[in-house]
Amino acid sequence: MGLDDFTLISATDPSGLPTGPFVGRHLIDGVWCDSADGATFERHSPAHGTPVTRAARGGGLEVDAAIAAARRAFDAGGWRYMGGRERAALLLRVADLIDRDRARIARIETLESGKPISQALAEIEGAADLWRYAAALARTQHGDSHNSLGADMLGLVLKEPVGVAAIITPWNFPFLIVSQKLPFALAAGCTAVVKPSELTPSTTVILGELLMEAGLPAGVVNIVLGYGQPVGAAMSTDPRVDMVTFTGSTGVGKAIVAAAAPTLKKVSLELGGKNPQVLFPDADLDSATDAVVFGIYFNAGECCNSGSRIIVHEDIAEEVTERVVALSRRVAFGDPLDPATKVGAVVSGEHQAKIDQYVRDAVEAGASVRLGGAPLEVPGLAGQFYAPTVISGVTGDMAIAREEVFGPVLSVLTFRSFEEAVALANDAAYGLSAGVWSESVHTCLAFSRAVQAGTVWTNTWMDGFAELPFGGVKESGQGRELGRYGLEEFLEVKTVQMRIGRTRSPWITAD
């Protein structure tokens, strides 16, 4: 398929690229430092091929120092016992600083991840909103009292910070996802050690700069750069860490659960998804097909919430497929630094090869490529791009219908009855999100109750609000982020039973 079949945006003026790489260092106990052995690693732009980041590569010494700092800061109690008003004020200052530096943060995120600059700007704006929402929670969290236990008893339920939280974040939404975790941990009174992905470390480093500027006490947040081995592994096993929260692949999530098991630390996981959108015959097809195209190509499909499979009633399946193909041709793929671009580069050559293999395997299994299905060359860019891809004739037993492709590849399945639609939607190891399109509120409600997913969108896709919890069931993870539930993840419940006066009956009576 030729270049003329797609909407491509070629390279912008190369003078807009950075003249040198961003230099990232660890933040440990309030001090920026290099690795003890001087080790570093580099990140090249997946769209332009140019070096954009040179970061310190952490090892055991850095992890040990960061955890020790977080442990001391928590046990000392200054942050843990600080009033909610004071913690909220600091979180609000961070939000204002994020707004101030939005353009800077978005630009380095675009260079490291390959996502469009317009999308990155929107994500940084959304991240600031999360810090403000967490600030509100810091002032409103509370326990419970029980005054109904009898005349001589009063019961209290205290909610206390869990302790030191290890926060491990992915490459696809590096600044947004750390902002779904860290401000909630801080609002709860926890201290933290943060490890961003080695593919996208720089925006987390910038966040550390903003935290220091806002006046965060030393040791409350520590950042260690590097790879899962040894950094993430050590954070998951160290007994001084009370909790691990991780966003990433299901495979790594399972490894973290196993690593954390010997110390029985709390684990919160937001993992993969194979998210279905079910289109019934009475769906508004103009809205539905636009949302389908958005759902699969947003962030080049490198999104846990990607709407990577649609389950369409057979009466409208061909019309829906043709509409989606036509809309897909109009989606602007290309240079992520151009504000008009809607889909940027795939994160790495290795990941692009994985995407392509899923497509090849589907064709071999009998599916049909209706659009795309191959890497895409964009004029003037040395990075890797994958063509917008639509595959029909997919059946539920194919790998492309069951496994997370994590790319701009849409699978089209068909159904005949409501029961079959629900069965297909639930026939996956994942359960992160799902969508339903119907003008009947009864159909939407029935589907919402029957589908196995942590989030269900009805007649929309991928709307998000700080107030509403997010997370999955089955192999999509455990625990929740956002909303009050996101704060609760970082809290432990303690019961206090108080006897009023000396009213307890003696266990052993006097002679």
pLDDT at 336: 96
Give yes or no for residue 3 having a pLDDT over 60: no
d(CA 454, CA 476): 9
pLDDT at 12: 73
Q: Which part of the chain has CATH 3.40.309.10?
A: 276-458
Q: What is the CATH number of domain 13-271+476-495?
A: 3.40.605.10
Specify the amino acid at residue 66: A
Q: Name the pairing type of β-strands 276-279 and 221-223.
A: unpaired
pLDDT at 15: 66
% of the chain beyond a pLDDT of 90 = 94
| Residue with token string 């392509």 | 356
pLDDT at 66: 98
Kind and range of the H or E run holding 485: helix 483-488
Cβ–Cβ < 8 Å for 84, 141: yes
Mean pLDDT of 1-17: 73
Q: Which band of pLDDT confidence, cut at 50, 70 and 90, is reported for residue 465?
A: very high
d(CA 476, CA 273): 6
Give yes or no for residue 168 having a pLDDT over 80: yes
Any alpha helices (H) in 242-389, and if so which ranges? 250-260, 285-297, 317-329, 349-364
Q: Which part of the chain has CATH 3.40.605.10?
A: 13-271+476-495
Give yes or no for residue 504 having a pLDDT over 70: yes
d(CA 211, CA 369): 48
Kind and range of the H or E run holding 266: strand 266-270
Q: What is the topology classification, in CATH, of domain 276-458? A: Aldehyde Dehydrogenase; Chain A, domain 2 (3.40.309)
d(CA 179, CA 244): 15
Q: What are phi and psi of 10, to 5 degrees?
A: -75, 180
Active site residues: 270, 304
Residue 256, CB half-sphere, CA atoms under 13 Å: how many? 30
Q: Tell me, yes or no, if the pTM score tops 0.95.
A: yes
Residue 124, CB half-sphere, CA atoms under 13 Å: how many? 27
d(CA 343, CA 335): 8
Mean pLDDT of 102-129: 98
Measure the N-to-C terminal CA separation of the chain; round to a whole number of Å. Answer: 98
Cα torsion 354, 205, 248, 307: sign: negative
Per-residue pLDDT tens over the stretch 308-350: 999 999 999 999 999 999 999 999 999 999 999 999 999 999 9
Mean pLDDT of 381-395: 96
The average confidence (pLDDT) of the chain is 96
- Residue 302 DSSP SS3: coil
Cβ neighbour number for residue 451 with a 10 Å cutoff = 19
% of the chain beyond a pLDDT of 70 = 98
d(CA 491, CA 511): 48
Give yes or no for residue 368 having a pLDDT over 60: yes
Cα torsion 479, 484, 490, 493: sign: negative
pLDDT at 11: 85
Any alpha helices (H) in 77-164, and if so which ranges? 84-100, 102-113, 117-140
pLDDT at 2: 53
Kind and range of the H or E run holding 60: helix 60-76
Kind and range of the H or E run holding 106: helix 102-113
Q: Higher model confidence: residue 510 or residue 267? A: 267
Give yes or no for residue 211 having a pLDDT over 60: yes
Give yes or no for residue 44 having a pLDDT over 70: yes
Q: Name the pairing type of β-strands 276-279 and 433-437.
A: parallel
pLDDT at 202: 98
What DSSP string runs through 160-217?
A: EE--EEEEE--SSSHHHHHHHHHHHHHHHT-EEEEE--TTS-HHHHHHHHHHHHHTPP
Q: What's the DSSP call for residue 505?
A: P
Mean pLDDT of 68-73: 98
Per-residue pLDDT tens over the stretch 256-305: 999 999 999 999 999 999 999 999 999 999 999 999 999 999 999 999 99
Q: What are phi and psi of 359, to 5 degrees?
A: -65, -45
Q: What are phi and psi of 13, to 5 degrees?
A: -60, 120
Pick the closest to residue 40 from 26, 29, 59, 56 (CA basis).
56
317: left (phi over 0), alpha (psi -120 to 50) or beta: alpha
pLDDT at 4: 53
d(CA 269, CA 149): 37
